[in-house]
Structures are given as C-alpha cells and as structure tokens.
Structure 1
Amino acid sequence: MTDPAQSVSTVPAPGLASRAARTGSSPVRDILALTARPEVISFAGGLPAPELFDAEGIADAFRHVLAEQPRRALQYSPTDGDPQLRATVAARATARGLATAADDLIVTTGSQQGLTLLTTALLEPGDVVLVEDPCYLAALQIFSLAGARVVPVPTDDEGLDPEALDEIAARVGPKLLYLVPTFQNPTGRTLPEERRAAVASVAARRGLWIAEDDPYGELRFEGEPVPWIASFPGAEDRTALLGSFSKVMAPGLRLGWLRAPAGLRRACVIAKQAADLHSSTVDQAAAARYLAVADLDAHLVRVREAYRARRDALLGGLGGALPAGSRWNRPAGGMFVWATLPAGYDATALLPGVVRHDVAYVPGAPFFAGPPDAAAMRLSFVTHPPEEIGEGLVRLGAALREARPAG
C-alpha cells in the first residue's frame, strides 16, 4: 500500500510581502536583547527608570476600576478611546498652550500606533516622507513597511534646518514631514521656536502634512517650554500631534494619543478599527482613574529631578570615558545624549568589544536615512542611577581604550 505522505507533491508557500522583506529588525531592540543580562550597565535602551514608576498609585487605579465598574472595564469600548481619558488629555494639552477638545483626540496603543495609523491613512507606496537626519528609528521602520520613499533633511545642533526643508520640499514634492522637535530621539536636541514657526510656514507653503511626535516634552529639566509646532500659523490644519503615557506614567500600559484635524482623525479611527478595534479598555479606565486622583505633575517633578541628576552624571563622566576629540551635546531634558567619537572610530564595530565589558550604547548609524555617521552613538541616561552611570562610564572608557580606530 502506498504511503499517502510519499505521494503528495508539495509546493512552497508564497514568499513574504516585499515590505516585510525590505524592513529589518530594530537594532535598538536587538541590542536590548543582547544586553539583557543584569550585570550589564546599559546606555542603550530608552527605558524609563522602573523604580520611579508610581506602581502603587497605578495598582490602586486598577483595583478601583475592577471593583467599581468591572463590567465596563472588561468590555469592548469605543475605537477613539475612553471619554474620561480623552477629556483629561485634552485639558492637559490645553494647559500646555494648544486648545484641544476631547473629540480632537484618539487614544492609541502607544504613540507608536498613532504614527502607524497616520501612515496608513496618508501614504501610498512611493509617497515621499521627509525626516530629520538622524531620525527616530522605529519611524523609519514604519515608513519602510508602508513603501514610502524616505528623504532626509539635514540637521545641526539645533535640529532640523528649515531652509534645507524648504528646498527639499520644493524639489521632491513630499506628502508628510515627520519630526520629534523636543528632546529628539536619538539626539536629545530641541528645535527652537523660530525654527518651529519656519517649519509651519514651509508646510503651509509647500502643502504637506506634519507628524509632530512629542513623547518627551514633559521631561524638561531646565529652560522654558517651547510651543508645539501644531500651534503655529500655517500648521493648525495640517499637523497630527502624537503623545504618550510611556515616559510620564509607565510604558507597559502601552497608551498614547493622537490629535489631528477632523478628516484625518476620522481616517485614523477607521484604520484603528481595522488594526485592533480599540486600545485596552481596562488600561484606559485605570489611566483615567489614576489621572483623576493622583498628582501627575508632582510625580513628574520627582522624575525630572532624578533624570536631571542622571544626565549630569553622564555628562560629568564622558570626558574621562570617551577618546580625546570626542564631542557630545547637553540636552535640556528628555532621555538621550548624542556623542560623536573622533575620526576613524566606528561605533558599530566597537560595540561587541564594549559589551564584553558589561556596558552598552546604541551606535548612531542606523538612525540615519542618509549617509550615516559611523562615529556617532546614542547614550540614554535615565535607566540607571548616578552611581551605576559612573561605573558604566569606567567600563566604557576601559573598553574604548582597548579598541583601535577603524582604518
């Protein structure tokens, strides 16, 4: 008798979609996996300090909603989000200078999803997206998956260059500009007010959308807040503003928000219906409860004070850790310092040897949409307390002294 398994002719399954094949894994996430050992002092991931989470306050919020309103908290909910949570976010945005109503907002599964929804609603394959160079790495992944053509805009120590933006926009006809203007990831830079006004003017004159990503804006240690680009003339009807609870409450909640003009917002709601129906009902309800009874602003004061001390510890030790001739900036807030090693050093090639010393950073090269700077690196200062930062810098210095410049 013939074995049926031997008589079946098989044909290979179809291949992956081209967008999946062309989009690589995030080097940051790969490095986090590599450095997950507890003995590693990591300057690599943008991980908020877990000891600063208001774990008890958040737990109380969950206990309340599950005890007082379990049927609502555990049920399906509207796609655009919990009404109480949207009202609270709207009030906080209005207090920060941008008049916002609850109906202007969508609650998203992290601000990352907000950018994915915008991409789904706005971009066709081949559409041009302008980005800061260097740029937030996950945004580059999202645009790659959408089949967009990503065009970098030059930056300097104050962020994106508006004159270069205007010239490039006139030449390539973009549909969207994506930027993180406050304490940018990866550089920590903040775009000054006059440049924000110029960006709004260019967007209006050249006819493009703006995606303004602001996950770090409430982590300011010094200086005065700068208005959102969305508030400047010319940008009001063409800017989608993205916010997040990850850096101010806890990233594990996976909650963010999207503020957008009505037509774009409706398209994003439809995209979210297709993606996940709605963000977690119970997480939204707990976040709304927490914001109603806890003093988030007082909590943020504690977080900022701790992060300022950690930034200062990193900046104070970089001179002894990095080779002579290295350069780095001094961010006024956020989570990251951008450093550049002297000519001849390759931060990517050096990383395996650095990790063997139980310390890590993120090479800067993957953040570039244009030609990369091989000598650049991103250093996060928020995850470890100052004494561990000091030890990490000792290890980093030892590793780099052992290294030899490329070429």
Structure 2
Amino acid sequence: MTAHTPPFVFSKRAQKLTGSAIREILKITTRSEVISFAGGLPSADGFPIEELRKAYDNILSEHGRQALQYGPTEGYQPLREWVANDLSRDGLTVSADEVLIVSGSQQALDMLGKLFIDPGSKVLVESPTYLGALQSFSMFEPEYVAIATDDQGLLPAEVSEAKAQGARFIYTLPNFQNPMGVTLNAERRQELVERCAAAGIPVVEDDPYGELRYAGKPQPSLLALGRKAGATVVRLGSFSKVLAPGLRLGYIVAPVEIINKLVQIKQATDLHTAIVTQMAVYNAVQDGFLSRHLPVVRALYQRQCAFMLEALEQHFPASVQWTKPEGGMFLWVTLPEHMDASRLLEKAIARNVAFVPGAPFYASENPPRNTLRLSFVTVSEDKIRKGIEILGQVIREELQA
C-alpha cells in the first residue's frame, strides 16, 4: 500500500456521485455583499414561528412520552388522515392507507428510485427538470429519456410509444416547475395521464409548490386526472414550502400496493419520520391554519415576483427571454444561443451577483448552455432591482464581446 492509497474502497455508485451545482454556488453567496438569486429557499418571512412554537409546546406538554418515542413507519395516523382529507376534493377520494409520511420530498425521491429503478432502467424526465431528482435517481443508474418542454410545461406528444416502452415512470413537476417556473395546462395534463395509462407507466407527480399559486387558474392534480383515466399516479407533497423546510416533512400518496413496498424500504432507511415533528405539524394545521397562513405567503411571493419581472423588462436586452410564473419561487431565463451562462456567472459573481446556470437541470450529456434560473423570494425589492440591473449590464457586455 502506497502513501496515496486510502485504506478503504468506495462503491462504484459512490464513486460516481458529484456535488450539487447549486450547493457549490451557495458557498459563494454566504458573503453578505453578494445578491443571490441562486438559492431555492423559501422566504423566512413566511415561516409561522409562533404557531409552530405553540404546537411543539402543546405536544410536549400533553403528549411528550408518545412524541419522543419510536413511531409507526407509515407515519402519525392523524396526520396521514389529514393529508388524505386535504387531497379528497374535486371528486377525488384518498384513503389514509394510501399516504406515507416521509422525511422531506427528497427522501421520497430516493425511495422511489430504490423501488422502481434498476441499472439501465428507462426513466422519463422533463427537460429541464429538478436537479435534486436527477441527483437522487442517478444513484440507481437509470437511462434518462428527456421530454421536451416549453412555456406551458412538458409536451405530452413527446411521451411517444417508443419512448414510453419499458419506462419505469415519468417524473414531472406540473405546478410552477423547478427550474422553469412554468405550469402544465389542463389539456396537457389530461393528455399526459391518458398516454401514460395507455403505455402502462406510472406518473410521479412532484408538487411542492402547488399551494403557492398567486395568479392564473388552479389546475386539476395529475392524481385526480390519473384515477379517472386509469393511470397510476404517485403524488409527492411537502410541508417545506407551506410551513418551513427545517421540518423535513413530506408525504407520498400512491396505491396501497406501492405504499406497502415503500414502507419496507423506509424501514430499512430510517425506521420512521420524527414523530414529534409529525405531531406538532398536525397540531398546527388541524384547525384550518393553512387557509389563514398561505394567503400571506402567496401575497409575499407575488410581490417579489412582480419586482423581478419589472426589473427584467427594464434592464435585460430584447434578445433575452424569460418565463412569467403564476406561482412558486423561480423563473427561467433563455439567453441568445451563443452565450454560456456559466461564463456569465463568473463575471456576475465578480460583481457580487449570483444565479444558477441552467445546464445542471438537464439529464442530457450535452445540455444547452444558454439558460439560467433566478429565484426571487428571498431577495429584497432594492436588491432585486440592483442585482438585475447588474446582471443586465453583464449580459449586454457579453453580447458586445
């Protein structure tokens, strides 16, 4: 053994792991002088701190022994029932037996990868799609098939018979998609579930942002449409964006056969999600608190989005395009084809402005280089205007170079 040979061997899976491009950028943005449009963080101004403090106090005071003990893998039964009842609307009926509580949506993605993906399995993903999903699924070595998108979401016609054949599932974020901020319209939702029903492939509907709509018309869930069309839909939800991400609390809604197998996977993963957290969240939301809290969060995000859209109109060149979200936290910028957003980032950071280049959000080996994601919910109005002005200057300089 040489001095350079470590006394351990990583698995092939571990050797292929790479860090998150966003997390690497966030290391830079810890400097106070940096205006960061990079993070996918909800605004801390929307955290219901006092309500959660009361909820934890209530649970520990009245049910402390239960809250601090091990709990069932499936989750705290009253919370499972609350989720089922919350989703049982517009003619949809969900049973608590179809709900599994998980430690954040990211755990749900990992568990679904373990459930469905073998090395070489075909997985359909939007192009671009959520980076965290790609990181999670890639652990299991799938063969990604990209489904093209536009400003109305994915193109269902792209889910052709050839692409769907043998696919384990299609992964989609239909509401205010991360990274693009776009929403899949009703017609495309219907066509998507019908195509997936005909092809016999499950739809994984990831919807962490659906309750953050501040413009436009609410769309039916893929879960509701899928049940009518005979499609298998696995729906992921989260309390991160409606309460606080530090809770690390999410859920999976799926047919009981899928839930039962996921329970076995979770038993091998972490036994169960923290019961004290589940009980506190249920205590907070059981009396309709979210119906009072969410309008405040939506209004906050709507203002922030409006500030950014106005600044983009004022400071970006006419050759640059961007999406106009109806909700959520992000918008997507498309630069002229010859421009490289990574090169642009280097120049922007030198002037204390950060964003996320779009390339990491694509599953393809040669992704477009001329896109970027901007997050607007954690930046003040003054900093949005200043940061977008600086970014517009950098883009103009690149165009003239």
TM-score, length-scaled by structure 2: 0.94
- Matching residue of 1:47: 41
Aligned to 1:195: 188
Indicate conservation of the 8 Å contact 1:81/1:107, yes or no.
Answer: yes
> Are the structure 2 counterparts of residues 11 and 295 from structure 1 closer, same or farther at C-alpha, using a change threshold of 3 Å?
closer
2:80 & 2:72 partners in 1: Cα distance? 12
2:395 matches 1:395: no
Q: CA deviation at 1:345?
A: 1.6
Structure-2 change in CA distance of 1:263 and 1:321 (3 Å): same
Q: Look up the match of 2:260.
A: 266
- Equivalent residue, structure 2, for 1:13: 7
Residue number in structure 1 paired with 2:125: 131
Contact 2:203 2:231 in 1 (8 A): no
Listed one character per residue, the Cα deviations across residues 209-267 of structure 1 (whole Å, up to 9, x for unaligned) are: 11110000000011221111121256555111000000000000000000011111111
Correspondences of 1:21-60 after superposition (within 5 Å): 21-60=15-54
Q: CA deviation at 1:12?
A: 4.6
CA distance in 2, matches of 1:394, 1:126: 45
Determine if contact 1:131/1:153 at 8 Å carries over to the other structure: yes
Conserved in 2, the CA contact under 8 Å of 1:210 and 1:239?
A: yes
Aligned length: 399
Q: Which moves more between the two structures, 197-206 or 89-98?
A: 89-98
TM-superposed deviation, 1:13: 3.4
The farther-off stretch of 318-327 and 241-250 is: 318-327
Say which SS state the counterpart of residue 349 (structure 1) adopts: helix
Is 1:90 aligned with 2:84? yes
Shift of 1:323: 3.3
2:162 and 2:323 map into 1 onto residues whose CA distance is 27
SS at match of 1:154: strand
- Give the equivalent residue in structure 1 for 2:234: 240
Equivalent pair of 2:197/2:231 in contact (CA under 8 Å)? no
Matched residue SS, 1:331: coil
Query: Residue 132 of structure 1: SS of its match in structure 2?
Result: strand
1:10 deviates by 11
Aligned mates of 1:321, 1:9 — CA distance in 2: 55
1:326-363 deviation line (CA, Å, top 9, x unaligned)? 00111111111111112322111121221122221110
What 5-or-longer segments of structure 2 have no aligned partner? none
1:144 aligns with 2:116: no
TM-score (norm 1): 0.93
The one-letter amino acid paired with 1:111 is: S
Instruction: Give me the whole-angstrom Cα distance separating, in 2, the residues matched to 1:181 and 1:243.
Output: 12
DSSP 3-state at the match of 1:169: helix
Task: Please state if 1:378 is matched with 2:363.
Answer: no
- Using the alignment, how far apart are the partners of 2:113 and 2:104 within structure 1? 15
Give the equivalent residue in structure 2 for 1:4.
Answer: none
Amino acid at match of 1:82: Y
What's the secondary structure of 1:151's corresponding residue? Answer: strand
Match of 1:342 among 336, 340, 343: 336
**Partner residue in 2 for 1:358:** 352
Q: Quick check: 1:322–1:341 contact (8 Å CA) kept in 2?
A: no
Matched AA of 2:294: L
* Amino acid corresponding to residue 197 of structure 1 in structure 2: Q
Residues 1:314 and 2:308 aligned together: yes
Partners of 2:232 and 2:16 in 1: CA distance: 30
What is the rounded CA distance, in whole Å, between the counterparts of 1:34 and 1:96 in structure 2?
45
Is the counterpart of residue 212 in structure 1 residue 212 in structure 2?
A: no
Paired residue for 2:251?
257
1:180–1:212 CA contact under 8 A, matched in 2: yes
Whose Rg is larger? 1
After TM superposition, give the deviation of residue 305 of structure 1 in Å: 0.6
CA distance in 2 between partners of 1:222 and 1:367 (Å): 25
CA displacement, residues 339-388 of structure 1 (integer Å, 9 cap, x when unaligned) = 11123221111212211222211100111112312110101111123232
CA separation of 1:192/1:306 partners in 2, compared to 1, >3 Å: closer, same or farther? same
Instruction: For residue 104 of structure 1, report the CA deviation from its aligned partner.
Output: 1.2
Q: Does residue 111 in structure 1 map to residue 105 in structure 2?
A: yes
* Seq. identity, %: 43
CA distance in 1, matches of 2:337, 2:4: 55
| Alignment check: 8 A CA contact 1:47 1:383 kept | yes
Q: Deviations over 1:10-44 (max 9, x none)?
A: 97534322222223111011111221122222111
Q: Is the 8 A contact 2:196 2:231 kept in 1?
A: no
Match of 2:115 among 111, 121, 131: 121
Shift of 1:402: 4.5
| Structure 2 partner of 1:3 | none
The whole-number CA distance in structure 2 between the counterparts of 1:180 and 1:277 is 28
